[in-house]
Structure 1
């Protein structure tokens, strides 16, 4: 049961980080088109909340390397989102954080898969 739970949180984290990264890369292009779209950092906050939930669950059972990658990546994402909400400053740290989250979750998924087979 623990293997399935850990895999679920890794898949949730990978999915959330991937959707967030795609959103962050594609949305600026969509705002150029005359569709009436505006950027809302609350959407980024929702993605970050899903990711935070996943890494809190994963950190209890993961290695120091994986935990460090996930914590640093999540920190970069939250700094970027909060700077946009509070100071109206867009930082590119969110891209690095998204890539780090994907890497951290993939590493954790592969490590747990190797341990359980």
Structure 2
């Protein structure tokens, strides 16, 4: 059971981080089209909550490097989301956080796969 837990959370975190990053990159382009779309930071908050859940499950069993990458990346994402929700300013740290999350989950997945084979 423990052998499948970490890959599951890596895949969950990786897919969530990728979807979130695509959302953050594509959505500003969609707002200039006359569809009447407005950005809602609650969507970003939902992605971040899923990411936090995956990270808490992963950092207990991962290396210091992977844990550091994931925690710093999630911190950047939360700073950006809270800045937008509280101060109504867009902070580009969310992009760096999303890229860091993808890198951290991929690295952890590869290290975990390497250890089990």
Alignment partners' CA distance in 1, 2:51 and 2:102: 10
Q: Which runs of 5+ in 1 are unaligned?
A: none
Alignment partners' CA distance in 1, 2:31 and 2:16: 22
Corresponding position of 1:14: 14
User: By how many angstroms is 1:3 displaced?
Assistant: 1.5
User: Secondary structure in 2 aligned to 1:32?
Assistant: coil
Q: TM-score scaled by structure 1?
A: 0.99
Alignment deviations for residues 24-69 of structure 1 (CA, whole Å, 9 cap, x no partner): 0000000000001000000000000000000000000000000000
Corresponding position of 2:24: 24
Alignment deviations for residues 41-99 of structure 1 (CA, whole Å, 9 cap, x no partner): 00000000000000000000000000000000000000000000000010000000000
**1:82 maps onto 2:76 in alignment:** no
Alignment partners' CA distance in 1, 2:67 and 2:7: 15
Q: Which runs of 5+ in 2 are unaligned?
A: none
User: Secondary structure in 2 aligned to 1:101?
Assistant: helix
Corresponding position of 2:39: 39
Q: TM-score scaled by structure 2?
A: 0.99
